[in-house]
Amino acid sequence: MAKHKLRPRRDAMVPSPYQEARDELFQQIMQCGVIGCHPEDQKEWFDATMVYLSDRYPELKAPEFTELRTLGERFAQPPKRQTQETAAV
């Protein structure tokens, strides 16, 4: 019988604070029904949510919060419909 080689255990990857904040933002967008809201309502929601996230993740810098907001706003956009021409290509 062949000996089984023991593989070294890999430590579980711990997400960075940025990744945690991003995931939390996406979860909140899905739970709060922000997708498809009026743009003014979305802006108000994002303003309040970014203040909340900045309190929760003080280790993140301003450029990271700007990037998070951009990602969140893109995520909150309704899906684009395909036209007949793009669907046929």
The pLDDT, as a whole number, for residue 14 is 85
Rounded Cα distance between 67 and 73, Å, is 10
23-81 pLDDT, tens digit per residue, is 999 999 999 988 888 999 999 999 999 999 999 999 999 999 999 999 999 999 877 77
Say yes or no to pLDDT of 15 above 90: no
Say yes or no to pLDDT of 12 above 80: no
**Look-up of token digits 């940025």:** 18
The pLDDT, as a whole number, for residue 70 is 96
The pLDDT, as a whole number, for residue 84 is 65
Round to the nearest angstrom and report the end-to-end CA distance of the chain: 56
Phi, psi of 19 (to 5 degrees): -65, -40
The pLDDT, as a whole number, for residue 19 is 95
